[in-house]
């Protein structure tokens, strides 16, 4: 009876891929050099989640290299002040995280254009996250979201402000098809005022009705009454420290 030679578990793509998930990205990159079969198995994990920033300490792929591997990117975390060459199509992109806390030196028009380019190029998006939202992201960004991103099911906004009645209405309209909405520490400014003077600093002097910290308790059965809109698909809602909305 012929004895079968034991199989090295690392020669099985399923096992190798499972183990590689627990490695750091740097270690995954090192594993690509072992052999061709390892490269074929591990390379999609290397490009699965990508962070693009201007920070010199971050290892960021060149736009040319990214063009080769962009089809493997499913999670993209990007600073809005990087080269426009990164604002391109990622065919399998599932989650887009935009960071706006780094663009003080950017022109207002450039801010919105870069954000819009990312949205226009990636209709596959399911989740959109924006950190440190700036007033430069206006109604022209939010109004076409439902048409541009037919698969979008989740929006997450952390910190910042949204300015102008038209912009706020466009945002809530874009949320009507969502299944999940998370808004944390965000100020809604219907009059479009983006600066805080002495009056803003003494916020404790005015009625609580003007600044409302929203909670999930006001929302039930998939219906949100506050912005006078119906959210039929909404399953998960998290609103904390939201200021400037009417009850």
Q: What is the 3-state secondary structure (H, E, C) of the chain?
A: CCCCCCCCHHHCHHHHHHHHCCCCHHHHHHHCCCCHHHHHHHHHHHHHEEEECCCCCCCCCCHHHHHHHHHHCCEEEEECCCCHHHCCCCCCCCEEEEECCCCCCCCHHHHHHHHHHHHHHCCCCCEEEEEEECCCCCHHHHCCHHHHCCCCCEEEEEEEEEECHHHHHHHHHHHHHCCEEEEECCEEECCCCCCCCHHHHCHHHCCCCCCCCCCHHHCECCEECCCCEECCCCCEEEEECCECCCC
Position 164 in a domain: yes
Residues 104 and 155 in one domain: yes
Residues 25 and 136 in one domain: no
Rounded CA separation 189/159 (Å): 14
Question: By residue range, what is the domain housing residue 220?
Answer: 53-190+205-240
Residues 103 and 24 in one domain: no
pLDDT for 73 equals: 94
Rounded CA separation 130/108 (Å): 16
Residues 57 and 158 in one domain: yes
Position 117 in a domain: yes
Position 77 in a domain: yes
Rounded CA separation 39/41 (Å): 5
pLDDT for 110 equals: 80
CATH number for the domain harbouring residue 27: 1.20.1280
Number of domains in the chain: 2
Q: Other C-beta atoms within 10 Å of 37: how many?
A: 13
Position 200 in a domain: no
Rounded CA separation 164/190 (Å): 4
pLDDT for 139 equals: 93
Residues 178 and 114 in one domain: yes
Position 30 in a domain: yes
Residues 119 and 73 in one domain: yes
Rounded CA separation 92/36 (Å): 24
Position 196 in a domain: no
The whole-number mean pLDDT for each consecutive block of 10 residues of the chain, a chain of 247 residues, reads: 67 73 75 74 80 78 90 93 90 95 64 89 97 91 95 96 93 94 92 47 38 38 49 90 74
pLDDT for 35 equals: 76
Residues 29 and 66 in one domain: no
pLDDT for 219 equals: 40
Position 198 in a domain: no
Position 107 in a domain: yes
pLDDT for 214 equals: 39
- Measured CA angle at 182 (ends 179, 185), to 5 deg: 165
Q: Are strands 127-133 and 223-224 parallel, antiparallel or unpaired?
A: unpaired
Residues 84 and 62 in one domain: yes
CATH number for the domain harbouring residue 105: 3.80.10
Residues 115 and 225 in one domain: yes
Residues 226 and 124 in one domain: yes
Residues 30 and 138 in one domain: no
Residues 149 and 28 in one domain: no
pLDDT for 245 equals: 67
Give yes or no for a contact between 125 and 152, defined as CB atoms under 8 angstroms apart: yes
Q: Which residue in this structure is represented by tokens 């594993």? A: 31
């Amino acid at each position: 009876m012929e004895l079968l030679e034991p199989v090295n578990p690392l020669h099985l793509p399923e096992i190798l891929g499972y183990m590689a998930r627990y490695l750091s990205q740097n270690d995954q990159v090192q594993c690509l050099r072992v052999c061709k079969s390892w490269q074929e198995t591990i390379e999609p994990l290397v490009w699965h989640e990508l962070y693009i920033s201007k920070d010199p300490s971050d290892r960021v792929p060149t736009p040319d290299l990214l063009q080769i591997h962009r089809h493997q990117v499913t999670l993209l975390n990007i600073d809005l002040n990087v080269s426009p060459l990164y604002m391109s199509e990622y065919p399998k992109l599932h989650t887009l995280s935009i960071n706006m806390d780094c663009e003080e030196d950017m022109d207002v028009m450039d801010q919105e254009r870069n954000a819009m380019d990312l949205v226009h190029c990636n209709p596959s998006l399911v989740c959109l996250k924006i950190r440190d939202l700036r007033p430069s992201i206006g109604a022209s960004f939010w109004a076409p979201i439902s048409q541009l991103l037919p698969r979008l099911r989740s929006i997450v906004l952390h910190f910042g402000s949204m300015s102008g009645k038209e912009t706020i209405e466009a945002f809530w309209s874009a949320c009507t098809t969502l299944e999940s909405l998370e808004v944390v520490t965000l100020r809604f400014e219907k009059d479009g005022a983006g600066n805080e003077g002495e009056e803003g600093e003494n916020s404790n002097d005015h009625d609580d009705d003007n600044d409302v910290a929203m909670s999930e308790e006001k929302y039930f059965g998939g219906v949100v009454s506050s912005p006078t809109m119906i959210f039929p698909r909404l399953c998960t809602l998290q609103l904390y420290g939201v200021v400037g909305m009417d009850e």
